[in-house]
Structures are given as C-alpha cells and as structure tokens.
C-alpha cells in the first residue's frame, strides 16, 4: 500500500466504468464505494478516512444523512474536497464547506449537449404535437388529422433564461431551425451573449416576445420561484414554457393555472419540486404537457463524459492542482493550508 494513500468515497449510484478505470491508473488513490441504504457504520468509517467525497446531485434519491452538510463534515476530519457528480450541487451545503476550508467542485457543462438536445426535442414535440398524437392514436379512432395540427418552429422566437453551458448550445441548435434567439443573463455581458448566438434582452422582454421560454439557469436564492404567476402572465398568449434546469425555479401551481386557462399552449417539464412527481400531480393530467423525470442529461455520452471529468478533476486536485470547476473559490486560501497539512503536498 502506498505510504500516502488518498481516498475517494462515493455511494453506490450507477456510474460509468470509466471513472473506476481512471482512478485505477493512480497507485496512490483508492476509490471506495459504500451502500447508500443500510450498512451506515461502514459508510461512516469510510467517510472518516476520506479525502474526497463524491456525492450524488440527485436530492430526492440521496438519503438525507449523506448530504454534505455541516454535520457530515464534522465527521470527516481528513476531507479536503466535496465533488458533485453532476452540474448541480443541491445536496451540498457550499457555505458549510467554505467555512471548513473544503473546496466544492462540480461537472458543469459535461451534459450540456444532451440537455440542449432534450430542450429542442421538447420544442419540436410541443409544436408538432407529437406526444399528443402518439397518445391519441393508441386509444382512439375516428378523429381528423387536423385536430392535431401543429406548427413549425422555424421563424419562431425562443427566449433563453440563462446562456451558460446549456443555453449557448440551445442557441446554436435553435439557429439551425432559423429561430430568433433572445437571452436574459445578468451575469453575461451583451457582447458575450451576442458571441454565444443570442440577442441580450431583459427578463421582461424575453417573456413578452418569445414563442418559447426555456430555463437554463442554476437554482439559487435569486432564481428560486422566479417563474411565478406574474412571470407566466407576462408570457405571450399561446407561448410554450420549457425547463430542463432545476425544480423550484418555476412555480408548479402557477404553471398549471397558466396552462389550464389556455394562456400558455404547452409545457415541457423535466425538473420538479419532488422527483419523480407524484402520479396525481396536476401537470401530469394535462395533454399539452410533456413530462420527463430529470432525464435531459441522462444519456450514455453525457454520463461517460461526466464520470471521466469527475475522476480527472479529483486526480488533479489530489496531485495539488487547482480544479477547473471550482464552485467556492473563496475557500481556496483555507483549503490550501488544510491540504498541505492533511495530504502533505502544497496546493
């Protein structure tokens, strides 16, 4: 066994084998997989020895005791890094990590292409009424095709709320369909938004002008509940709403009301307050809602890229490097001191 063995601990969620293969190439890094249900004592023993905790971003699939909270961190004295398995980090208390001198990293952008394709798929399905047509053809006969008449997305306006990793790819795909792309993102300059293929507008302009409003921003204190009844009312009558971002950014009851009233023509919803939503959820009763179970980024290619990036980033961290996807850079000074003490290398 190497004298300075570094330990990475993860729970037994499915992951692409490329991750284990990457760690296996490092003689001084050990990957331990613990059960998320039962055998808690074994998991706590492993976490007490862990240098890196690789935690799932799926807030409704991860048992609460394994969230990276202040209480968990207290039981992990050797921990220097918490790594989210995806772009989101809903299961990590970033402030608690920062206070403890622990860095947080994610895999932002690794599933962006998959999420962007899912977004365009929802736009096409809503416009062409593919899901409605499929459901109806399976249960009815005697209706006219014109009852399911759709529309082209070419020439329509899409308003992106957020134009980061995913949003810029949606813009690229939308332009291939001759769509006009607007974008609201208070953290990106108008010049940069233009370089990413969109015209910079205010939030209100995006809502009022767009035939499709698509959400691509993180869930934060600023964005939580951002798409509320007022926001849906500002949208163009007959427009469609799409979200592949995070549950909680849109108000589900307000979206249901806007659809039921006929103000909005349809919605594509991949993310929910509770995942999966209950079978009795009101949105699931509407024929003009395409509902998916947070699967926009769940593709073979995205999972492989995410696993590979997560492993590469962790290996770089444990060799003393600064990670490319650092969520809390303010923790870096305290982290460097802890890293040198715990790992024995300068960071």
Could you give the residue numbers annotated as active site?
Answer: 246, 275, 294
What are the two backbone dihedrals, phi and then psi, of residue 318, each rounded to the nearest 5 degrees?
-70, -10
Tokens of 341: 């003490």
Judged by DSSP in three states, 137 sits in helix
Q: Rounded to 5 degrees, what are φ and ψ at 99? A: -60, -30
Tell me the three state secondary structure of residue 255.
helix
Tell me if 241 sits within 8 A of 288, measured CB to CB: no
Count of all residues that appear for the chain in the document: 347
Q: What's the half-sphere exposure (Cβ side, CA atoms, 13 Å) at 30?
A: 15
Handedness of CA 136, 138, 140, 145 (dihedral sign): positive
- What value does the CA radius of gyration of the chain take, rounded to a whole number of Å? 22
User: Alpha helix (H) ranges present in 64-220?
Assistant: 70-74, 94-99, 112-128, 130-139, 165-176, 190-195, 203-209
In 10 A of CB 196, how many CB atoms? 20
d(CA 193, CA 101): 34
| β partners of residue 213 | 159, 241
320 in Cβ contact with 125 (< 8 Å): no
- 52-55 β-sheet, strand order: 29-34, 6-11, 52-55, 81-84, 103-105
Beta strands in 231-310 (DSSP E): 240-243, 266-269, 289-291
DSSP string, 104-115: EE--TTTTHHHH
161/249 Cα distance (integer angstroms): 11
């Amino acid at each position: 066994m190497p004298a300075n063995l570094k330990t990475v601990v993860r729970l037994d969620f499915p992951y692409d084998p490329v991750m284990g293969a990457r760690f296996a190439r490092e003689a001084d890094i050990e990957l331990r997989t613990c059960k998320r249900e039962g055998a808690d004592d074994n998991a706590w023993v492993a976490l007490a020895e862990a240098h890196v905790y690789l935690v799932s971003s799926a807030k409704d699939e991860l048992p609460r005791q394994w969230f990276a909270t202040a209480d968990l961190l207290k039981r992990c004295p050797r921990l220097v890094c918490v790594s989210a398995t995806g772009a989101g980090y809903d299961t990590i208390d970033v402030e608690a990590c920062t206070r403890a001198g622990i860095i947080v990293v994610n895999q932002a952008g690794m599933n962006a292409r998959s999420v962007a394709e899912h977004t365009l798929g929802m736009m096409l399905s809503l416009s062409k009424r593919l899901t409605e047509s499929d459901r109806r053809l399976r249960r009815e006969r005697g209706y006219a095709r014109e009852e399911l008449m759709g529309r082209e997305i070419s020439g329509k306006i899409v308003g992106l709320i957020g134009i980061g990793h995913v949003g810029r790819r949606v813009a690229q795909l939308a332009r291939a369909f001759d769509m006009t792309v607007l974008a609201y993102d208070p953290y990106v300059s108008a010049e940069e938004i233009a370089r990413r293929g969109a015209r910079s507008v205010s939030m209100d302009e995006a809502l009022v002008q767009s035939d499709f409003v698509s959400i691509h921003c993180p869930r934060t204190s600023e964005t939580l509940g951002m798409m509320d009844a007022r926001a849906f009312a500002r949208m163009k009558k007959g427009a469609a709403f799409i979200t592949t971002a995070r549950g909680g950014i849109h108000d589900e009851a307000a979206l249901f009301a806007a659809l039921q009233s006929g103000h909005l023509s349809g919605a594509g919803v991949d993310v929910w307050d509770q995942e999966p939503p209950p079978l009795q959820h009101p949105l699931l009763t509407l024929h003009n809602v395409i509902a998916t179970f947070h699967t926009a980024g769940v593709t073979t290619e995205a999972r492989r890229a995410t696993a590979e990036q997560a492993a590469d980033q962790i290996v770089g961290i444990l060799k003393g490097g600064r990670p490319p996807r650092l969520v809390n850079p303010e923790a870096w000074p305290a982290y460097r001191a802890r890293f040198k003490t715990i790992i024995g290398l300068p960071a």
